[in-house]
A and B are shown apart, each in its own frame.
Chain A
């Protein structure tokens, strides 16, 4: 190909890029802009349903919550964002601490979302609940020997425990709520016990961890239930079972996927109506159901597969604590050698 032809191809591709790319986001009064850390395939069906019901179009972009928060902060007054949606309470806590979210007074949201799953100051609200509990091999573990997260630090589990990396926020918030419940010193002893009991190096994700239990590399681990649910949908005979941790002793650790309204939103009323709709029965079943999570609204229907795992007592510590204590939890896990 001669150079001039190559240049022509390049120029054409630039034009194509600009053409394909610069479809402007026309933000009208009937549009809401969402910055979402929840993935496209988990939110778009719900947003589409909202558009069908109300005519309000939902424009969104996805990314890591930390990045979206920096984006909100950098854009400041001129940010087009109306709603920030995350998959972790810590990020919402962080965004509200930095003054990026505005308080909302809504009787509907206060009725639909239990108090421990929302900001006491009304700056953000949980929309689905993610339970993190024990998973075990029924072949090698008698469930009567299981009880709490803390008990996995006992010498009986030496060489039998699998954990996911402490880099994942789900483990950071679990340890943060343990700090909230029993203080740093006791929590650090427990985390050191876990590390001493590890059967293998920590895993990069919960799915690998569940596969390791099934393959016999270890006997018990700590996972978010929807990862288990996803495997179960494809392989109903997957040889791992769930155990609800800490029943009668503080409850199962729960985190949320939730949302708040951006400080500089120009459509606060519309954004509030949107959050209220998301907390309603129909939307709740849909929002939680697409990812086999639990609705926050106790009235909403639970996916049949999720329901089959039985009911459990969740931890009632406000999820905001997970955010507040997260840096301390990360430092604690570094000290304890939990990678």
Chain B
């Protein structure tokens, strides 16, 4: 082991990275100092017990379901050959490009009592026939699982494939059948990646507002908005958001404790994972499972979306859409670069860091992912405006009446800071699990060879991490394509993106007109997902 230097740069970097997420939490803490007592008493009696129950059930169901589905699909694709495998390998990632709120609205429209399926069932089969209600906790869990499982699938597949053939060969040479080798060797090796994926899913579920609002399920998030929008108590809303952030931190902490001190470092893979050829019934079952997931999570909803979009394209689609799409791609790509770069810095600062308080700061930096975007944006907006005012005052004092009007809060700078606060966790998940798989002995060897600092990062770690970095970049990119509340609040005047377009239509309930920009979000988001999904396969 390298003796741990004091590494002041690491502490400094982590503090800077934690600031964007910490500022809104500080706003929340200050809100605690002026408690909204009346609102809280009411919340405790009538609201919180119910929403806490719903939130916990939703978290458990979605966490377990995405964990099982994502890992199973990853193992199926990484370890087996079956008809259609080459297509499913990347196509199973496509639901990533679909915003959760869009999927929820499509499901609600198609499967509710007044939707086409139930109308047909009543007319053609039996007038009393009913499907289980889609506007329910179960419906929300289904939709969230379908749009979030790719996080687990993607990270688990990278882990399986980069675990390489050797671990599998060793296990099989010890007499374990392939299934046991998977269970006892590959699965534990992939565990940090699966855990990172499920952690992302859980935080996304905690912060979700779009899906639960569209399917009318009351969770912590809806209670936050109800206190703020309905009872005009932003204080109570911030306090609840702060609790949500703490809950997420506790979850991350528990996951790390459970993982314990086992080392997961693997060697550079010796070769591609050998795939088992499935035949007959198992092959059919594998194809059917993958096809069913893809159809329900992506193909059918997209067909519905396109049908709606087509109806309004003649009147709504115009030249401005080039600019909407261009801006969406530009801020998503540059935001992804910023977040991934920050995630590498974060992972590197934490690598081999034994001090608990320093690691704690590192964790804090990722808690923003569990805070609803609107709350986070508002929490950040106040401090940024305050800084803007200070600068303005300095400027006014220096230049007098001729000083220009500063407007920091409505610039891309603020937008990127807020993106960092919210999406750092999406970058750190893959980066960290990638770093964990690089054995510390390699660092030591590199140190002996005189490679350290940035040189070691560039020449040793970045090449080994490439798969994880690409995974992180895709995840952040598609998240930013779909992101709405932060973009909406911090965008410069007239800066419209596809997601903002969806908001304009959806806010007044014109969901069918929102289908056009929604479909374009998916279309634009799908391209990098496909390109990079193939890339991820090759890197491994």
A215 and B333 contacting across the interface, CB-CB below 8 Å: no
Query: With A14-B337, A74-B382, A78-B388 known to touch, is A334 a contact of B232 (CB < 8 Å)?
Result: no
List chain A residues, Cβ under 8 A from B213. Answer: 167, 204
B389 and A77 contacting across the interface, CB-CB below 8 Å: yes
A23 and B508 contacting across the interface, CB-CB below 8 Å: no
Q: Return the contact of A10 from the options B333, B485, B493 (Cβ within 8 A).
A: B333
Q: How far is the CA of A77 from the CA of B386 in the complex (A)?
A: 11
Nearest CB of A to B428, in Å: 18
If over half of B's interface residues share one DSSP class (helix, strand or loop), that class is named, otherwise mixed; here it is: helix
Q: How far is the CA of A11 from the CA of B333 in the complex (A)?
A: 9
Q: How far is the CA of A201 from the CA of B216 in the complex (A)?
A: 9
Asked whether any CB of chain A lies closer than 8 Å to the CB of B436, the reply is no
A17 and B511 contacting across the interface, CB-CB below 8 Å: no
Asked whether any CB of chain A lies closer than 8 Å to the CB of B323, the reply is yes
List chain A residues, Cβ under 8 A from B411. Answer: 21-22
Closest to A44 in B: B504
A10 and B114 contacting across the interface, CB-CB below 8 Å: no
Asked whether any CB of chain B lies closer than 8 Å to the CB of A71, the reply is yes
Q: Which of A35-43, A189-197, A267-275 contacts B (4 or more CB under 8 A)?
A: A35-43
Asked whether any CB of chain B lies closer than 8 Å to the CB of A94, the reply is yes
A17 and B215 contacting across the interface, CB-CB below 8 Å: no
Query: With A14-B334, A208-B114 known to touch, is A76 a contact of B385 (CB < 8 Å)?
Result: yes
Q: How far is the CA of A23 from the CA of B385 in the complex (A)?
A: 20
List chain B residues, Cβ under 8 A from A39. Answer: 504-505, 507-508
A80 and B46 contacting across the interface, CB-CB below 8 Å: no
A78 and B406 contacting across the interface, CB-CB below 8 Å: yes
Nearest CB of A to B477, in Å: 10
Task: Tell me the chain B residues, 461-516 only, with Cβ under 8 Å from chain A.
Answer: 462, 466, 485, 488-489, 491-496, 500, 503-505, 507-511
Asked whether any CB of chain A lies closer than 8 Å to the CB of B161, the reply is no
A327 and B232 contacting across the interface, CB-CB below 8 Å: yes
Q: How far is the CA of A94 from the CA of B119 in the complex (A)?
A: 43
List chain B residues, Cβ under 8 A from A77. Answer: 389
A25 and B494 contacting across the interface, CB-CB below 8 Å: yes
Q: How far is the CA of A217 from the CA of B326 in the complex (A)?
A: 43
Asked whether any CB of chain B lies closer than 8 Å to the CB of A64, the reply is yes
A25 and B493 contacting across the interface, CB-CB below 8 Å: yes
A20 and B323 contacting across the interface, CB-CB below 8 Å: yes
Nearest CB of B to A116, in Å: 22
Write out, one digit per residue, whether chain A residues 297-339 have a CB within 8 A of any chain B CB (1) or not (0).
0000000000000000000000000000011001100110001
B337 and A212 contacting across the interface, CB-CB below 8 Å: no
Query: With A14-B337, A331-B42 known to touch, is A201 a contact of B133 (CB < 8 Å)?
Result: yes
Nearest CB of B to A185, in Å: 17
Task: Tell me the chain A residues, 52-94 only, with Cβ under 8 Å from chain B.
Answer: 59-64, 66-67, 70-71, 74-78, 80, 87, 94
Closest to A323 in B: B232
B493 and A326 contacting across the interface, CB-CB below 8 Å: no
A17 and B493 contacting across the interface, CB-CB below 8 Å: no
A3 and B218 contacting across the interface, CB-CB below 8 Å: no
Write out, one digit per residue, whether chain B residues 116-153 have a CB within 8 A of any chain A CB (1) or not (0).
00010000000000000101100000000000000000
Asked whether any CB of chain B lies closer than 8 Å to the CB of A211, the reply is yes
Asked whether any CB of chain B lies closer than 8 Å to the CB of A230, the reply is yes
Task: Tell me the chain B residues, 224-263 only, with Cβ under 8 Å from chain A.
Answer: 225-226, 228-234
Closest to B336 in A: A10
Nearest CB of A to B293, in Å: 26
Asked whether any CB of chain A lies closer than 8 Å to the CB of B409, the reply is yes
Query: With A61-B491, A203-B135, A207-B511 known to touch, is A165 a contact of B230 (CB < 8 Å)?
Result: no
Q: How far is the CA of A94 from the CA of B231 in the complex (A)?
A: 10
Q: How far is the CA of A61 from the CA of B495 in the complex (A)?
A: 9
List chain B residues, Cβ under 8 A from A211. Answer: 112, 114
Asked whether any CB of chain A lies closer than 8 Å to the CB of B222, the reply is yes
Q: List 22 A-B contacts (CB under 8 A).
A: A16-B326, A16-B334, A20-B495, A21-B495, A22-B412, A23-B494, A25-B494, A61-B493, A62-B500, A62-B504, A66-B228, A67-B485, A70-B382, A74-B382, A78-B385, A80-B407, A94-B232, A167-B222, A167-B225, A207-B509, A326-B230, A335-B46
Given A13-B333, A77-B389, 19 other A-B contacts at CB below 8 A?
A3-B466, A22-B411, A25-B407, A33-B493, A39-B504, A39-B507, A67-B374, A80-B405, A167-B213, A167-B229, A201-B133, A201-B136, A202-B216, A212-B112, A326-B230, A327-B230, A330-B226, A335-B46, A339-B218
Nearest 9 Cβ contacts at the A-B interface: A17-B330, A215-B114, A13-B333, A14-B334, A211-B114, A25-B493, A74-B385, A330-B230, A10-B337
